[in-house]
Structure 1
């Protein structure tokens, strides 16, 4: 699957380069051939052919291109037989360029469609496994358990410090009695987006619980580094809430528990997560 994915990405890059080169060649030939009106008409026809190929497939595009070529041949033969004017030989490139562009566009869209389908299949698989939350686009508790094991193994083999941040909304049970369902949904999405935005690219954010909104982050950091990340998250959340007219009048703050992996007292990812949950009870800042 990975090899096919990489090949599809490579094909897309190659097709884009060929498509741009073919269009650049068309522009150069248009400039060299003159005949502004005919070039404009043929360019418009080419765009129509490309749209037909994009929306209805290669067969439809090829048939339309053959009809376009046939029309050009009829025009050339008519001019030759009637001798009404000189045959515009420089414009004959329009018999080749549209079909070339259509074929390149087809292979480009085929590979793009393949990648989009693979992404949809992957997302569906994650949802079915309960590892992906569709509303917030965050991984769930199931994925946390699996990924934490990888972080723990990295700590064991390379002695890299590993920490988890568990994040909750202070006094959420009291606040939700004063909030509408729309506000609760907006708060969940706002907090999820803010936490994910503030974390570093190699940190992974999870939504552990939707009913009592609880997030977790796995990071490679010691306690001091995790505290720095905690400060950034709280400050970012406070600023974002104040900028939201629907939530600014509510006393919304975060509590964050920080736990570092300790093989002496922890044995499983659940122990790691629960240690972070316990630490949220002591966050009074």
Structure 2
């Protein structure tokens, strides 16, 4: 239901944008045909002001401002006809209609855009509250990791596709922690996350299992040899990033990796795969 609402809002946003662009194109054509350069320029700036009111203050102040603008135009036309004894410039009458249509199109577009942003924010908050999404690194957490292992394991059972996890940690992290500032810690977390993301394939999913003793995990549809190749690329990319970073390059920072493949005979729960990968990090020297 929520997905359908978001699709509807996205469609309305696109429709509002198309109408807004079309109206501006029509306005440009009418300006060139009407010929009164001074009034056209003045009315154009007034229209832009009305659009700003619509964007920042909403539809009601916009409608009130548009009515005032129409009244001003009527006064100008009357003044030219009565005082200056000129013909009423009917060719400029489109300015009485176009600004309010532009304002409504802009309101439709921005209203649905804001609604989509709010919906995305609520979804993000819900994921964080459920513990399935880490706000700092934009990675899934242990909750999602355990759920996804179950899905990967079922795929392995049905299609006999190998499933492997790689567990990644920072070597001697507790010792490094005592020597690093909070900013360096945040930088290391971000740098490691980026190194992992850059070197993994689109269908390889990355997780942050632990913030206190930073532990990352990757789920891959491959065997242990394929995972070794992937983690080797990650290690090389991580090492280059650390060496090129002035704040971290003076420290002996390196990764440890543990690789474990799903074995339906010996593994019964998703935790078995996770624990096997964590256990294997002890042997990465």
Q: Describe the superposition over 1:199-247 as per-residue Cα deviations: whole angstroms up to 9, x where unpaired.
A: 2232221111111110011122222322222122112111211221100
1:204 match: 205
Aligned residues: 284
Shift of 1:283: 2.1
Whole-angstrom distance in 1 between the partners of 2:38 and 2:249: 60
Aligned pairs for 1:78-227 (under 5 A) are 78-227=79-228
Whole-angstrom distance in 2 between the partners of 1:275 and 1:63: 67
CA RMSD in angstroms comes to 1.6
Shift of 1:193: 2.6
CA 1:27–1:228 in structure 2 vs 1: closer, same or farther (change >3 Å)? farther
Shift of 1:57: 1.0
1:63 aligned onto 2:47: no
1:47 aligned onto 2:48: yes
CA 1:32–1:224 in structure 2 vs 1: closer, same or farther (change >3 Å)? farther
Instruction: Structure 1: give runs of 5+ residues left out of the alignment.
Output: none
Aligned pairs for 1:3-18 (under 5 A) are 3-18=4-19
1:20 match: 21
Shift of 1:169: 0.8
Whole-angstrom distance in 2 between the partners of 1:238 and 1:165: 18
Whole-angstrom distance in 1 between the partners of 2:203 and 2:36: 56
Whole-angstrom distance in 1 between the partners of 2:86 and 2:240: 73
Q: Describe the superposition over 1:15-38 as per-residue Cα deviations: whole angstroms up to 9, x where unpaired.
A: 222211111111222222222222
| Partner SS for 2:265 | coil
1:76 match: 77
Shift of 1:137: 1.8
1:238 aligned onto 2:242: no
Whole-angstrom distance in 2 between the partners of 1:52 and 1:240: 47
Q: Describe the superposition over 1:124-162 as per-residue Cα deviations: whole angstroms up to 9, x where unpaired.
A: 111211222222222111111112222222222233222
TM-score, normalised by the number of residues in structure 1:
0.94
Q: Describe the superposition over 1:95-135 as per-residue Cα deviations: whole angstroms up to 9, x where unpaired.
A: 11111111111111111111111111111111211222222
Whole-angstrom distance in 2 between the partners of 1:25 and 1:43: 13
Q: Describe the superposition over 1:166-197 as per-residue Cα deviations: whole angstroms up to 9, x where unpaired.
A: 11111212222222222112211221233223
Shift of 1:198: 2.9
Whole-angstrom distance in 2 between the partners of 1:146 and 1:242: 36
